[in-house]
Amino acid sequence: MLHANELALVNLRATDSRKTKMKSCCLLVLLICGAQAQSVAIEAAPGADVHGTIHTELDKTVSLLCRALEEGAELVWRRNGAVVSLKAENQRGNSSVCVTPVLHEDNGATFSCHLGKNATVRDAVTLNVTFPPVLSGSEEVSVEEKSPLVLSCQTFANPPVSPPLWTLNGSTVDLQAGSFSVTNDGSTSRLSCGAVDRGLHEGRYQCTVDSPLHGTRTRVFRVTVTDKTTKFPLTPIIAGVVVVFLTGVFAIFSRWSTITKCCK
């Protein structure tokens, strides 16, 4: 069987200038036929939406089947442009890939399938993996007076969540009064303070996010401020240094006295 493109070439060669009209007409027909003969299509479970997006969740399975209209045509699968290695028997006519379990990093991944002989004949789907923020439970935090305090909340989620609300003993944290600072980098929110003061900083902290899909998630931190312990005992060291210094002075002094004695 002649290939559609080859047919077009044969047709071009056989046509003289007087048949231009007829030629372009035939070409058009051939191009349409060619486009059909060269198509590939992806069938997905769960199915893709009109934008070619498959909506799924963490740990689920997505099956993709690529079909070439041309029987036995070699097919190539790519994930974000990188070729997916497949067994030889899974590369001709029909080719399937299975994404299982679905992971965080599959979110936004594009799976495309194209003809081995012509990469422009392709179809593609993109995964949208929803996952909740990993935010729950409680934590005991013990911090020494005047030491820094840093509380972190994981806010990484799809759909994304707004920065969390930080509370202390049930009220919104007063950043200014407690000399706190908050940073949000899209995946983690950090509440920090350079030097804790028991009266200002001890208590029950809570970090709360609202997800349109997964509801409200909270993490609790019970912060206790302990008395300052001197980790580095400076006083004995200073005393030691003084002793060494004085011994030296006395040594020189007694040496000096013997020298002066000698000179007399």
Ligand X SMILES: *[C@@H]1O[C@H](CO)[C@@H](O)[C@H](O)[C@H]1NC(C)=O
Q: For binding to ligand X (CB under 6 A), which residues are involved?
A: 5, 35, 38, 118, 120-121, 168-169, 200, 202-203
Kindly tell me which of 3 and 19 has the beta carbon lying closer to ligand X.
3
CB of 215 to ligand X, least distance (A): 27
Kindly tell me which of 47 and 199 has the beta carbon lying closer to ligand X.
199
Distance set, CA 163 to CA 40, 138, 157 (Å) = 43, 19, 11
CB of 69 to ligand X, least distance (A): 11
Kindly tell me which of 54 and 121 has the beta carbon lying closer to ligand X.
121
* Whether 115 contacts 75, CB under 8 Å: yes
Closest residue (Cβ) to ligand X? 203
* Whether 126 contacts 207, CB under 8 Å: no
Kindly tell me which of 104 and 222 has the beta carbon lying closer to ligand X.
222
Kindly tell me which of 106 and 123 has the beta carbon lying closer to ligand X.
123
For residues 49-67, b (16+ Cβ closer than 10 Å) or e, as one string?
A: eeeeebebeeeeebebebb
Tokens of 34: 């060619």
Tokens of 119: 């990469």
What are the φ/ψ torsions at residue 143 (nearest 5 degrees)?
-135, 140
CB of 4 to ligand X, least distance (A): 9
CB of 89 to ligand X, least distance (A): 25
CB of 94 to ligand X, least distance (A): 20
